[in-house]
Amino acid sequence: MGETNKRFDNLSKSIIAVMNKLGENDAILSMLNHDSAKPFIRPLSYSERNNSTNPIHRDAKILPYPFSPDTKITEGSTIRAFFPTGTFETDKAQAVWLKTDLVVDIIVSKNLWLIEDESKNDAIRPYRLMSEVEHDLTDRNMDKESELYKTLGRIGLLNFEHLSVNAEFEAIRLYFSFDSIEYNPQR
């Protein structure tokens, strides 16, 4: 039982590191918190900046679970990061590896898609968010001493797809690959 818990602890640490990394990005936080066509004109509040990854806070915008299509919310933007599936494999040295992809969903209500970016150019909010997420999570831009790099290693964007969530929301789903999470109880 202890081995399984350690494997899942690594999943928890990884998702929390992703959430924290995205929560440090002011552009992401502005687009998630400011439900207007000009999300960059107002500075972030203390709560918007410091509670973006706290799932029980009203200002939470970056969450560790999938979006429910049955939500009662009709407007807003959110990012969800999670591992949809996983397979445990053992190599010749008896190291146990978790093979999975990281999924990041960018969910935006349809009436908030068009925005004016920081340079006052027209932009599509989910694609600007996708650009920021890709920049923050891929290894070519990552500090090798960061908690994110220490938990997931090298990360690369595999692909993305557009999803229709419900009558109010559309989403962009990003699929990231990363170095497998290793757990070896004998080491």
Edge-first strand listing for the sheet containing 102-109 = 62-63, 77-82, 102-109, 169-178, 155-164
What pLDDT was estimated at residue 184? 56
Tens digits of per-residue pLDDT, 23-40?
999 999 999 999 999 999
Tens digits of per-residue pLDDT, 129-168?
999 999 998 867 677 777 777 777 778 899 999 999 888 9
**Cα–Cα nearest to 162, from 170, 153, 152, 151:** 170
Rounded alpha-carbon distances, angstroms, from residue 14 to 62, 97, 134, 142, 165: 14, 14, 16, 15, 26
- What ranges do the domains of the chain cover? 2-183
Q: What is the DSSP pairing of strand 77-82 with strand 155-164?
A: unpaired
Q: Give me the residues paired with residue 99 across strands.
A: 87
| DSSP structure class, residue 104 | E
Q: Give the whole-angstrom CA distance, residue 187 versus residue 174.
A: 34
And the tokens for 80?
A: 């969800």
Percent of the chain with pLDDT strictly greater than 70: 86
What pLDDT was estimated at residue 151? 76
Q: Tell me which of 75 and 171 has the higher pLDDT.
A: 171
Instruction: Spell out a b/e string for 171-180, using b for 16 or more CB atoms within 10 Å of the CB, else e.
Output: bbbbebbbeb
Q: Kindly tell me if the per-residue pLDDT of 68 is higher than 70.
A: yes
What pLDDT was estimated at residue 28? 97
What pLDDT was estimated at residue 1? 45
Q: Give me the residues paired with residue 7 across strands.
A: none
Topology of domain 2-183, CATH:
STM4215-like (3.30.2000)
Identity at 112, one-letter amino acid code = L
What pLDDT was estimated at residue 183? 55
Tens digits of per-residue pLDDT, 84-132?
887 777 777 666 667 778 999 999 999 999 999 899 999 999 999 999 9
